[in-house]
Amino acid sequence: MQQRITIDPITRLEGHGKIEIFLDEEGNVANTYFQIPELRGFERFCVGRPVEEMPLLTNRICGVCPEAHHMAAAKAADAVYHVDPPPAAKKLRELLYSAFYVTDHTTHFYALGGPDFVMGPDAPPAERNILGVIHKLGLEIGGKVIQARKYGHAVVEIIGGRKVHPCTSIPGGLTKGITEDQRRDIEEMGRWAIEFALFSLELFDQLVLQNSAYLEMIIGDTYTHRTYYMGMVDERNRVNFYDGRIRIVAPDGEALGSYPPHHYIDWIAERVEPWTYLKFPYLKKVGWKGFVDGKDSGIYCATPLSRLNVADGMATPRAQEAYEKFYDTLVLEEGKRYSSTYPTKVVHHRLATHWARLIELLYAAERWVELATDPEITSDNVHTVPTEKPTEGVGCVEAPRGTLTHHYWTDERGILTRVNLIVGTTNNYAPISLSVNKAARSLIQRGTIVTEGLLNQIEMAFRAYDPCFGCATHSLPGQMPLEVTIRDADGNPVEVLRQHC
């Protein structure tokens, strides 16, 4: 019997990845709670402002993926004004966005996800960072990482008007196009990025896939959750970051369906739990069944892995090859273990997200060159003047950390009256909670707590999702500070574990 514990709202989290683990009387895990901070008052902050401000304003929400908010806001503002930007404007936006993806995915792999593999998951946290990677693999790799980031920043600056926080998207398109000289620079940088992405996949192959212990860790049950997946696809069901329909695939690989962004309300509902301010999005058509996975539970995941799972393939040739290798390898391994239950093409192993991210890196680089060599890309026609009365609109892009939805309502002058955002990571709040619970259960049994491994295991699960709760650089200072409080059946703390805080 678990004692009922009331969690006082004042113990709700501010600024930490705070985890509460409640044990039952046998000393086994009864329940886990993962609490994260929430930024408040965004809607109130936006109401009364002109909708054109949103691409500039929302890209200040977050210092990690401003480009994603800029794009979602620009698309939502297009929708509010019922205006379709000219093809060149859409292509330039997607080109900027592809370059941003190269920067973001590169940084994640080399500074966050990769170090667990390069240094080993048991290395001290102080060594599992980009410095450790440079020391172990050599300066040349560090130089390439900085170069990849620099090129990504450069493209964002050329098309977006300034570094990191682009400012050129307006309702109906862009304020400016690019010159032939700029196009040539962009193309050249993109070709380098393709080589770098191929190099990164090769590195992953050598480091991880050819190491049976790592492969076992990826395939193992600890980091596996059989949830639904969400991601954006083009008209041929291939991964797209900038535009398309949102597709949902069930744990057994069956497609639940797909929807245009403005139908999101028919598909996504939000579950409120008394112990956290943040809501848990889930699939309306499946329903909320609690913190469990499987086909009957509406919990879904939106990550690089999810995007590959919902798609039928990649839209560029080399990324498609990498995609095929990914599924050939992992479905085969999966089949050896669970073939009777899940024979289809879906990978559920959260650590495989790191591999999926590198395949997306290659796709983003290839798409970068594809768009940079598009005959239309230097066109002067980059803006359609809005003529209709503004009303309401939804804009959706794939942020690196999940599907990002902006929904705006305005009056007839284009002044915002209501705003709703579902940010990338929020989609993954429930799956991350599943991972926390599973890690706790595997390391706490009958009162025996493996304290050493617990934080590491939770942290590795986090890294796969790269959670960005609150969408602010500030709210989670440091390298994901974690505080885990383990309480006995009476609610008394037995153990408090901390990392990076």
Partner 1 sequence: MRLTIDLTLQPPLPTARGLTGTQSAPIERGKKSYAPGMDFVQLRRDRGEVLVIGLGNPLLGDDGVGWHIAQQVERELVGASAPVEVDYLAVGGLALMERLAGCRRAIIADAIVTGQTPPGTLYRLALDDLPAAFAGHLHSAHDASLAVALKAGAALGIPLPEQVYIFGVEAASVCDFAETLSPPVAACVPQAARAVLEVLRQFELEDSGSDFS
What the block records as the tokens of 122 is 């048991």
Instruction: Report in angstroms how near the CB of residue 409 gets to partner 1 at its nearest.
Output: 18
Q: What is the DSSP string of 219-233?
A: HSSTTB---EEEEEE
DSSP at 85: -
What the block records as the tokens of 449 is 């707590």
Closer to partner 1 by CB, 68 or 346: give it. 68
Instruction: Report in angstroms how near the CB of residue 377 gets to partner 1 at its nearest.
Output: 16
Closer to partner 1 by CB, 57 or 292: give it. 57
Closer to partner 1 by CB, 86 or 402: give it. 402
Q: Residues in the site for partner 1, rule: CB under 8 A?
A: 14-16, 37-42, 44-45, 57, 60-61, 63-64, 66, 107-108, 111-112, 129-131, 134-135, 139, 142-143, 146-147, 149-151, 153-154, 164-165, 185, 188-189, 191-192, 466, 468, 470, 472-481, 500-501
Instruction: Report in angstroms how near the CB of residue 194 gets to partner 1 at its nearest.
Output: 12
| Cα 51 off chain centre by | 26
Instruction: Report in angstroms how near the CB of residue 43 gets to partner 1 at its nearest.
Output: 9
Closer to partner 1 by CB, 445 or 473: give it. 473
Instruction: Report in angstroms how near the CB of residue 100 gets to partner 1 at its nearest.
Output: 12
Closer to partner 1 by CB, 104 or 243: give it. 104
User: Checking DSSP bridges between strand 280-283 and strand 268-271, what pairing results, if any?
Assistant: antiparallel
What SS3 state is found at 276? coil
What SS3 state is found at 21? strand
CA dihedral 397, 392, 263, 62 (to 10 degrees): 30
Instruction: Report in angstroms how near the CB of residue 208 gets to partner 1 at its nearest.
Output: 20
Spell out the alpha helix ranges (H) of 66-138: 66-80, 87-107, 114-118, 130-137
> d(Cα 410, Cα 487) in Å, to the nearest integer?
48
Closer to partner 1 by CB, 286 or 468: give it. 468
Spell out the alpha helix ranges (H) of 379-491: 429-443, 451-465
Helical packing angle, 451-465 and 353-372, nearest 10°: 20
Closer to partner 1 by CB, 154 or 489: give it. 154
> d(Cα 463, Cα 303) in Å, to the nearest integer?
11
Instruction: Report in angstroms how near the CB of residue 190 gets to partner 1 at its nearest.
Output: 10
